[in-house]
Structure 1
């Protein structure tokens, strides 16, 4: 009879021993997505702030990993007085990760996810943490549902949930041509902008496939993204979070090698005017970031999105996933709203008593990260 052994891994050297089995386990799990791949995790670890405390829970059977819960520890302070050690999902901030989940052997998914939650309560793990802030759970998927079911089977863990929305366009419902499916106003905008571009000069949409040109193309994305937000009097994501730019530079090279990367540029007269980056994984396109020149022709970013979405249809992809936050802009691109959850989880400790009576989220003014 095989025995399942649990481990708490807090150093990257320990976690790196999982590399050979990581993606194989992920691919047969009920939560297979690009944000859980070894490549994504490795790039996150390489580019996250040096003081980040890793905290991975691993179950092994016959010395082979069968379940992985990747966390890190971030200190928070309540009312600027009491310090809490909060477990957060690896990669959940700074780089754009979505769809947090555990990676487990599929045929006994709920059982293994339950065991991972229970392992967090064992003495070897429990004294390291006070709360769990678990974000962006895809509750409409089998993997998201099994995560919630497993959590419900551990009564020692209390839970508060907050709804969060996502946006996704189902490409299987569209014909070979995207344009006729769009609203009249959006069709007109795209056609008129194409006409304006033609008047400006020769224009084209290309995807970066040369690793030697990749860093330059990414820097153009960062530049145009920042320009777009500066025009609105704000700082762009790459300006606010330099680690995001470092992550993109590292991961994009791996993604290009794996065939996942889609980094598209719209150029006019040899000048890049709009850039969009996303990744294709399991026949789905995940749209991550975009940028466009706010001083150039209005609507150029729309034309680039149209070409990218049309390319996704031609590739036979099933979804164009806009990821978090359903907006009117995404609705115009035929996106439907999906409902997920953020979870705040806490065990019955004396210092957690307040959470049994008040809903205090680690995104408000009372409970804040210390760095």
Structure 2
């Protein structure tokens, strides 16, 4: 027997802290973006005051053990003059991937219909469900889409693919170095020599391992990332002060847990590149990077990425995950990818009107890209 509850208070959400990561470990998902440290830090920095917790929990009816949860948040939004209640994944406004219901495998099948009913059942009170970066092959997503597609009069939806490149890692660095081919080895060697020739001091890579180093390292990461992005005309991931505060807090908590992998490339005392990754289970997740544009001719961004891959292999990681996005540089590292889904589901007439506007806007963007010759092989919309 499964007992379902929707936790809708901050106190109730925070009370889940002692059970959260144990359930995540038991689920086998191995996703750092589903850890208590990531989700609760998001709540502190972005959720409180803007969202209301809406965490679906499943407990064993016999002993009360937590056997499943789906961490959602409820927000009232004004869209096109309509005031709507929108459900979204906690931390879904950040760049995170491969989200799913967190459940014990032994209880997942029994709990799944209840989770789906809480989102799209006939008695729901919200207008729109917005789920970004959901695992496309998860049992939860399949059950959710199956339910929607069987009831076309009750709910409309939109599903958009997100491509998430990743690199499967060999057991040894020598194995990886041999696999990339003679030309790539030559290019990396040439870049390293060019950097060494220009440097006025020793060139070194170092990993941030203590709290004493962390604040300066985060500051350098932000500086280098923003400098590169602004050169390209982009706002950058750290344009908002709150984003810097969030990642500073996450990095500190991950450092305590042994999950942070923040590397700096230095020439003498000058930091010219930084890469910000996480290690959780057998996976390295690349989150962000930056380099000094003044050193572009030496390709410090590529060199520090290569260093991070080497470190991942040395630690026995099975995968280097580049997360979502089809940026051209990722294709230089891997040709393999998995798919996540962005889901938009209407559960009321006002929600349907907004969903239809989303669909029309998305179709317009696709048409513009097609006319420009960009194409879009990975998107789909349904209603």
Q: What TM-score range do you get, normalising by the shorter chain?
A: 0.7 to 0.9
Question: Which SS does the other structure have where 1:214 is aligned?
Answer: helix
Q: Higher mean Cα deviation, 144-153 or 43-52?
A: 144-153
Equivalent-residue separation in structure 2 for 1:280 and 1:304 (angstroms): 16
Equivalences for 1:338-357 in 2 at 5 Å?
338-347=338-347, 349-354=348-353
The question of whether the paired residues in 2 share the 8 Å contact of 1:67 and 1:113 is answered with: no
Question: Which SS does the other structure have where 1:161 is aligned?
Answer: strand
Q: Does 1:63 align with 2:57?
A: no
- Structure 1 residues 138 and 172: CA distance shift in structure 2, 3 A: farther
The question of whether the paired residues in 2 share the 8 Å contact of 1:197 and 1:297 is answered with: no
The question of whether the paired residues in 2 share the 8 Å contact of 1:31 and 1:102 is answered with: no
The question of whether the paired residues in 2 share the 8 Å contact of 1:66 and 1:104 is answered with: yes
The question of whether the paired residues in 2 share the 8 Å contact of 1:182 and 1:334 is answered with: no
Question: Post-superposition shift, 1:332?
Answer: 1.1
Paired position in structure 1 for 2:74: 73
Equivalent-residue separation in structure 2 for 1:362 and 1:284 (angstroms): 38
Q: Does 1:313 align with 2:310?
A: no
Paired position in structure 2 for 1:21: 19
Q: Does 1:104 align with 2:111?
A: no
Paired position in structure 1 for 2:192: 194
What is the number of equivalent residue pairs in this alignment? Answer: 354
**Any idea what the Cα deviations from partners look like across 1:7-56, whole Å, max 9, x if unmatched?**
22222211111111111111111533100011111111111154221221
Paired position in structure 2 for 1:137: 134
Paired position in structure 2 for 1:296: 295
Paired position in structure 1 for 2:176: 178
Equivalent-residue separation in structure 1 for 2:222 and 2:363 (angstroms): 30
Equivalent-residue separation in structure 1 for 2:184 and 2:76 (angstroms): 46
Question: Which SS does the other structure have where 2:233 is aligned?
Answer: coil
Question: Which SS does the other structure have where 1:309 is aligned?
Answer: helix
TM-score normalized by structure 1?
0.87
- Structure 1 residues 148 and 226: CA distance shift in structure 2, 3 A: same
- Structure 1 residues 106 and 183: CA distance shift in structure 2, 3 A: same
TM-score normalized by structure 2?
0.84
Question: Post-superposition shift, 1:351?
Answer: 2.8
Question: Which SS does the other structure have where 1:234 is aligned?
Answer: coil
Equivalent-residue separation in structure 1 for 2:195 and 2:292 (angstroms): 13
Equivalent-residue separation in structure 1 for 2:14 and 2:218 (angstroms): 28
Question: Post-superposition shift, 1:153?
Answer: 4.1
Equivalent-residue separation in structure 1 for 2:219 and 2:131 (angstroms): 31
Equivalent-residue separation in structure 2 for 1:167 and 1:213 (angstroms): 31
Unaligned runs of 5+ in 2: 365-383
Question: Post-superposition shift, 1:211?
Answer: 1.3
- Structure 1 residues 171 and 114: CA distance shift in structure 2, 3 A: same
Q: Does 1:231 align with 2:228?
A: no
Q: Does 1:6 align with 2:4?
A: yes
Q: Higher mean Cα deviation, 171-180 or 45-54?
A: 171-180
The question of whether the paired residues in 2 share the 8 Å contact of 1:215 and 1:249 is answered with: yes
Question: Which SS does the other structure have where 2:27 is aligned?
Answer: coil
Paired position in structure 2 for 1:31: 29
- Structure 1 residues 362 and 107: CA distance shift in structure 2, 3 A: farther
Equivalent-residue separation in structure 2 for 1:84 and 1:296 (angstroms): 48
The question of whether the paired residues in 1 share the 8 Å contact of 2:67 and 2:107 is answered with: no
Question: Post-superposition shift, 1:226?
Answer: 0.5
Question: Post-superposition shift, 1:157?
Answer: 4.9
The question of whether the paired residues in 1 share the 8 Å contact of 2:165 and 2:334 is answered with: no
- Structure 1 residues 195 and 276: CA distance shift in structure 2, 3 A: same
Equivalent-residue separation in structure 2 for 1:274 and 1:113 (angstroms): 45
**Any idea what the Cα deviations from partners look like across 1:276-314, whole Å, max 9, x if unmatched?**
011111110000000100012430111111111011112
Q: Does 1:204 align with 2:207?
A: no
